[in-house]
Structure 1
Amino acid sequence: MDAFQIGPFAIPWARFQVFLALLAMVLLAEAWARKVDRRLGPWAYNAILLGLVGARLGFVLENASVFARDPLSALYIWQGGFSPVWGILAAGGYTLMALPKNLWRYALFSALAAGLVFGVFLVQRKGGGEEVRLPSVTLATLGGTPVSLQDFRGKPLVLNLWATWCPPCRRELPMMVRLSQENPEVRFAFVSQGEGPAVVRSFLEEQKLAPEWVLLDPETQLSQALKTQGLPTTFFFDREGRLVARHMGELSEALLLGYLRVLR
């Protein structure tokens, strides 16, 4: 499961998981605030805010060369990209400065509650999960030539499911095409969902994009095979066709480069 579904809206599961963990931390801190010291309530909200800011700044610094090309992209937090270690250091430093020593243990218990909730949901997601492999699906190129996805085995594969009507897909596609050209050791395939060749070809020509592999999936059979809940969704398969990672939602260049490092 890629996301938590609320009607037509899909929230990436990793973000929903973090939300539940931080909610547990706030609730416990508020309970301590009523029984022990009211300063624990504001501490929780400030620690979370500074932790998120620290995690984002840490990620930006770790990928400084990427963000230097487009500094404003550091503000595109909807793309994801947070370093947990930096976030913990920022929140922990704030805690040590903001709370007296006699309250540190309550802050620690609240943080441990968040970690416990996160860990429980993480184990539930991974537990019993069977290995996902590249589906045996045959699609078509823009010219109508049939292509079996099994033919892509032998090299690492980035499989991007997208559509021309999807704003996040349109934003990330130029960057992904560029990286596909800069990383020839990894194969990229861009699979249009539910659209015909005329629509896809017109969009690519308008955007002056020429990916090596653009495939059509008008019946969305690949989305069904991979149980995709929203677009864009990107899958990362190793050279044997085993799923290494999946990402629902828009990708930043820094995140995509991180996935490529793992894929190699």
Structure 2
Amino acid sequence: MQAVSIGPLIFAGDRLAAIVGIGAFMAVTWVLSSRLDPRIGRWSSWALIAGLITARLGHVIENTASFAAEPWRILAVWQGGFSWPWAAASVVAVSVALVRTRRTAIGAVVSLAIALFAWNVVWQLTNATPSTPMPHVALENIKGGDTSMTAFMGKPVVVNLWASWCPPCRREMPMMAEVAAARDDVTFLFVNQGERRTTIEGYLNKEKITLSNVLLDARTDVPRHYATPGLPVTLFIGTDGKLQSVHVGEISREALSGALSRLLAE
């Protein structure tokens, strides 16, 4: 599954891979700087700073229309959203400017190679998504009666696991509701985890959020079925009812749009 739990912390697979890769880069360059050439440390600091800034800047530029409507999200880095080709270009530029000796060049190549290897290992270990079928469980519909998720098969389905006490869920919910209302090619199911009907209705009414398909998962059967940790989690399910991809944590408008495009393409 595309998430890893470490004690109370939950990391999406791609983010954990990035953290491990950056950690490996910093550790290796620290060792090489102290034992091989101090200039490697100066290069690595500027390469890391420039890489992260330009990766975020590149993502914003690639999604200008989306960020123009909500410019504050440029700083919402917790949602993810980095363009690594931009980062690679900036690292190359920093290297051209600062790498002047053979030792520094060797240190740069070794540290980047080890960082990329560490990133790739974690990515490969966490990137697999099992083709899990929809669970055959009856969930209470907020409009009354029981509904099974399998009743929505035949059309791509997006399942958002959420709760009103969860801050990231509350942040992403208005955007999710907006996208769900605008799409008729995908069915959105908002599966609440363990809350009472009155609590859910109170939250939606207070925030003036309208959702078409709200299901109550009182026993948290759905996350157990898919083995997903934490909230929020967004599941992307194909027309055959099998899981295609998972997004763990708060999802951005760009990430949702990209996942929907891949879901419809498959």
> Scaled by the length of structure 2, what TM-score is found?
0.93
- Correspondence 1:109 to 2:110: yes
After TM superposition, give the deviation of residue 31 of structure 1 in Å: 2.2
Query: Does the 8 Å CA contact 2:17/2:120 hold for their aligned counterparts?
Result: no
Q: Give the partner amino acid of 1:63.
A: N
Following superposition of structure 1 onto structure 2, how do residues 79-228 of structure 1 map, counting pairs within 5 Å?
Answer: 79-100=79-100, 102=102, 103-126=104-127, 130-228=130-228
Measure, in 2, the Cα distance between the counterparts of 1:101 and 1:244: 48
SS at match of 1:68: helix
The aligned amino acid for 2:125 is: Q
- Equivalent pairs counted in the alignment come to 263
Letter paired with 1:206: K
Residue-by-residue CA offset, 1:198-226 (whole Å, 9 max, x unaligned): 11111111111111111100111111111
Read off the aligned partner of 2:122 and give its amino acid letter: F
Q: Return the alpha-carbon distance in structure 1 between the equivalents of residues 77 and 125 of structure 2.
A: 27
Q: Which moved more, 1:28-37 or 1:212-221?
A: 28-37
Which is further off, 164-173 or 85-94? Answer: 85-94
List structure 1 runs of 4+ shifted beyond 4 angstroms. Answer: none
* Deviation at residue 93 of structure 1 after TM alignment: 1.4
Deviations 1:217-250 (A, max 9, x none): 0111111111121100111111112222111111
Q: Which amino acid aligns with 2:230?
A: G
Alpha-carbon distance in 2 for matches of 1:87, 1:138: 47
State the match for 2:54 in structure 1: 54
Structure 1 residue aligned with 2:263? 263
Q: In the TM superposition, what is the alpha-carbon distance from 1:2 to its structure 2 partner?
A: 4.2
Separation (CA, whole Å) in 2 of partners of 1:225 and 1:259: 21
1:14 CA drift (Å): 2.2
Q: Is contact 1:2-1:229 (8 Å) kept?
A: no
- Give 1:126 shift: 4.9
User: Partners in 1 of 2:33 and 2:172 — Cα distance?
Assistant: 44
Opposite residue 123 of structure 1, the aligned amino acid is Q
Q: SS where residue 219 of structure 1 aligns?
A: coil
1:24-35 equivalence runs, <5 A = 24-35=24-35
Question: Cα gap change, 1:222/1:2 in structure 2, threshold over 3 Å: closer, same or farther?
Answer: same
- 8 Å CA contact retained: 1:160, 1:189: yes
Q: Aligned to 1:5, what secondary structure does the other structure show?
A: strand
SS at match of 2:234: strand
Deviation at 1:257, TM superposition (A): 1.0
SS in 2 for 1:212: coil
- 1 CA distance for matches of 2:258 and 2:211? 21
1:120 CA displacement: 1.6
Show the counterpart of 1:16. Answer: 16
Q: How much does 1:190 deviate?
A: 0.5
Once the two structures are superposed, residues 155-186 of structure 1 have per-residue CA deviations (whole angstroms, 9 ceiling, x without a partner) of: 11110000010111011101001001112111
Q: Is the contact made by 2:10 and 2:230 (CA closer than 8 Å) also made in structure 1?
A: yes
For residue 3 of structure 1, report the CA deviation from its aligned partner: 3.3
| 1:101 Cα deviation after fit | 5.1
- Higher deviation after alignment, 170-179 or 133-142: 133-142
**8 Å CA contact retained: 1:96, 1:104:** no
SS in 1 for 2:58: helix
1:144 to partner: Cα distance: 2.8
Q: Is the 8 A contact 1:161 1:191 kept in 2?
A: yes
SS of the residue aligned with 2:67? helix
User: Match of 1:106, as an amino acid?
Assistant: G
State how far apart, in whole Å, the 2-side matches of 1:227 and 1:144 are: 27
Structure 1 portions without partners, runs of 5+ = none
User: For residue 120 of structure 1, what is the amino acid of its counterpart?
Assistant: V
TM-score, with normalisation over the residues of structure 1? 0.94
